[in-house]
């Protein structure tokens, strides 16, 4: 993945895709790639956490966003850095492990 230039995650807006977990998007962000994704399901939530990628609905939006990323190295680098930081802050193993541990600690209290 680190040899790629952009992480792409096109999805149609179906009930099945709305239940996806943004795994491919997060993998791309974890290696510092800028991402271009369909704003579907959890992708919307991840994009709302910070300026970490671009979203596209239509073919025209996909084309425009891809061209913008191809032409603008500073944009690619900024989105890649922001995405990597977001993954480290919210989705890294120690962060998720601490959240799960808290769930299990409080679960026993109920």
With left for phi above 0 and alpha for psi between -120 and 50, is residue 12 left, alpha or beta?
beta
CATH number corresponding to 7-107 = 3.40.50.2000
* Residue closest to 47 by CA, chosen among 72, 12, 5, 79: 79
* Residue closest to 50 by CA, chosen among 89, 94, 4: 89
Higher-confidence residue: 43 or 1?
43
In the chain, where are the structural domains located?
A: 7-107
Q: Indicate the average pLDDT of the chain.
A: 94
- Sequence length of the chain is 110
What pLDDT band is residue 17 in, cutting at 50, 70 and 90? confident
Supply the pLDDT for residue 110. 65
- The pair of three-digit structure tokens given for residue 27, joined into one six-digit string: 């993998």
pTM of the model: 0.87
């Amino acid at each position: 993945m680190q040899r790629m230039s952009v992480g792409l995650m096109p999805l149609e807006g179906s009930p099945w895709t709305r239940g996806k977990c943004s795994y491919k998007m997060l993998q791309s962000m974890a290696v510092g790639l800028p991402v271009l994704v369909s704003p579907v399901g959890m992708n919307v939530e991840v994009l709302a956490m910070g300026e970490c990628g671009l979203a596209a609905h239509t073919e025209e939006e996909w084309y425009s966003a891809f061209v913008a990323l191809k032409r603008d190295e500073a944009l690619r680098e900024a989105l890649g850095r922001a995405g990597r930081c977001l993954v480290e802050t919210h989705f890294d193993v120690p962060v998720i492990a601490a959240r799960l541990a808290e769930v299990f600690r409080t679960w026993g209290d109920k």
